Chains A and B, each alone.
Chain A
Amino acid sequence: MVHALSLGCVLFGTWLLLSGHFDPLLIGLGVASCAAVVYFTHRMDVIDHEGHPVHLTLRGVGYWPWLTVEILKANIDVARRILTPGASISPTMLRVRSTQPTDLGRVIFANSITLTPGTVSVDVGEGEILVHALSRGGADDLAAGEMDRRVTRMAGGN
């Protein structure tokens, strides 16, 4: 029920911001279509903590800025490797431990790995992720487990 309500609010907020019209007819249409979508998703039984993870919104506040900085650093590193003439890469494939107790946490971890240029998740298994890294250094940084701990702290628990 809480999830359905918050989904409705998020949908309607998106509608308002994207349309930018505030006359009664359009707002009425917006309310009607949001209600319809909430009803459909309820019938499809996809409103749960995975499809609509509101509980991560607040805890994500500490994680996203850190990830953004990591992405910027990794972008500069990969860009430098692309522009360096000759053999500038040392492709590495390794298994990385993932300590997230939930599927959602593992998806966030795997997506964070892929979002950071220089490392891509290739296969997600129970408790570990197969990763392709552009350089041995990037592989070792990931294996050190900083990102894994941060994702577990954010998404762990439920």
Chain B
Amino acid sequence: MALVLDIASWILLLGGGALVTIGGIGIVRFPDVYTRSHAAGVTDTGGAGLILVGLMLQGGGTLVTVKLILILIFIFFTSPTATFALVHAAYESDEEPQLDHDLRNEPPDRETGS
């Protein structure tokens, strides 16, 4: 049982580490602040989430696990707020996004489909 938990926790930790690395690559590869924020999103949702859940499996039924759960909750509430503040500030200061499809002038209830 302990072995199964260890294996599961290692898979989660390695998966999280891989997502953090991929997010870092994306921040370098993508062209502008908006697309880069998507890459950063991989780091702070998937990456942080998998690593924290992996650590919870290591912590077992202790107070450490409770603290990790609280960290996860706080990250999931604060990181979108921070990302929004960043992207909103960029947009407000007229940082023009590089777009393939600019649908800003279409009403929100348009028919979907590309």
A1 part of interface (Cβ distance < 8 Å)? no
Q: Using C-beta atoms within 8 Å of the partner chain, give the interface range for chain A.
A: 35 or more
CB contacts under 8 Å to B, within A66-111, are 71-72, 75, 78-79, 82-83, 89-97, 110-111
Describe B's contact surface by its main secondary structure.
helix
B60 part of interface (Cβ distance < 8 Å)? no
Q: Using C-beta atoms within 8 Å of the partner chain, give the interface range for chain B.
A: 35 or more
- Taken together as a complex, chains A and B put the C-alpha atoms of A97 and B80 apart, in Å, by 19
- Taken together as a complex, chains A and B put the C-alpha atoms of A93 and B84 apart, in Å, by 15
A18 part of interface (Cβ distance < 8 Å)? yes
> Nearest A residue to B49 by beta-carbon distance?
A71
Q: List residues of chain A with CB within 8 A of the CB of B106.
A: 94-95
Q: List residues of chain B with CB within 8 A of the CB of A14.
A: 70
CB contacts under 8 Å to A, within B34-53, are 34-35, 37-39, 41-42, 45-46, 49
Interface residues of B (CB under 8 A from A): 19, 22-23, 25-26, 29-30, 32, 34-35, 37-39, 41-42, 45-46, 49, 63, 66-67, 70, 76-77, 79-81, 83-84, 87-88, 91, 97-104, 106-110, 112-114
